Structure 1
């Protein structure tokens, strides 16, 4: 990856400011690098009330802040309202990954992102969630576009950040920067299901 050519990023209407919802530092690395290389200065919004437990949340948030500071970028710290998240996803505790619970989770986080964009004068927002191969891009797109519909003048910037070599670049930058790499998606239920799989396959359990 030392000879990786950073791909040009094209923003709708040639805008240079975007609110970028970040799920974690590792997923943000190649995205932010590509944006900055193309003259785009994203403001990073960390809003992930799904992350469990709070110690895990703080670890992921602090890594994201560390990366923003290293890149000289502004960031906005969202509320850690786990009660609101649990209420929003109630009744779907047994849903699998990429199921209805995940859709509701994306809806909540991107609705907050659109609201924050409107409040801070951004006409465009995006999310690093779409960089993960474990996520359903259609679910994320649906959540982003639906969130934007509630705020006139705010648009969702649809990007599949897994293309143009960015997925491999992300892995390289994470190793280079020695970022903490999480072992499960983030919520209590993903931790539960990850450990159930590990137990069945005689793997060490994730301790949190």
Structure 2
């Protein structure tokens, strides 16, 4: 599962050492602004075209309607960042990823979400493991921000001129000026 090109950059660089082919599943119904969604998806396609470590990666867009996210977030709109709404969002995206993996014959999946210092890797890994078990596939637990992963993602983003968004994508996490709520 990929949330964006900047987070995917380091994860692809790292995982390409262990896997010959990687499928990058862009499943982000939390990005409800269509222009923002397209911008992030196009940056991911560009990264996979331009970065030598990512050229073997195939990007799959999961064009889920934002209504799926709004349904999952119903009643949690005013929750603080990193709270219950985020947990539901992680569950939604990793559930869709686990189902995609099962339906398309993949035995293993991971997520780029753990690159971010703003995301709770143990929680994400718990959700990923649970959703993988439900779907009958395996989840690769990770904390890609460790051992300099987050810093490397910043360096790769600069090297490839990647758009680094100022918020996770969720309308509830964004201030009026477009910056992330704290």
Partners of 1:35 and 1:41 within 8 A in 2: no
Counterpart of 1:42 in structure 2 is 22
Counterpart of 2:113 in structure 1 is 129
More displaced, 39-48 or 104-113? Answer: 39-48
Any runs of at least 4 consecutive aligned residues in structure 1 with deviations exceeding 6 A, and if so which?
Answer: none
Structure 1 residues 39, 92: CA separation in 2 closer, same or farther (over 3 Å shift)?
A: closer
- Segments of 5+ residues of structure 1 without an aligned counterpart are 1-20, 196-204
2:29 equivalent to 1:65: no
Q: For 2:18 and 2:130, locate their aligned partners in 1 and report how far apart those are by CA, in whole Å.
A: 27
2:178 equivalent to 1:206: yes
Note the 1:28-107 alignment, pairs <5 A: 28-70=8-50, 71-72=54-55, 73-107=57-91
Report the TM-score, using the length of structure 1 for normalisation: 0.80
Q: For 2:106 and 2:13, locate their aligned partners in 1 and report how far apart those are by CA, in whole Å.
A: 20
Note the 1:4-15 alignment, pairs <5 A: none
Structure 1 residues 180, 107: CA separation in 2 closer, same or farther (over 3 Å shift)?
A: same
DSSP 3-state at the match of 2:174: helix
2:165 equivalent to 1:186: no
For this pair of structures, how many residues does the alignment match?
A: 175
Partners of 2:121 and 2:142 within 8 A in 1: no
Q: 2:102 aligns with which of 80, 103, 118?
A: 118
The two structures, once aligned, show a CA RMSD in angstroms of 1.4
Report the TM-score, using the length of structure 2 for normalisation: 0.91
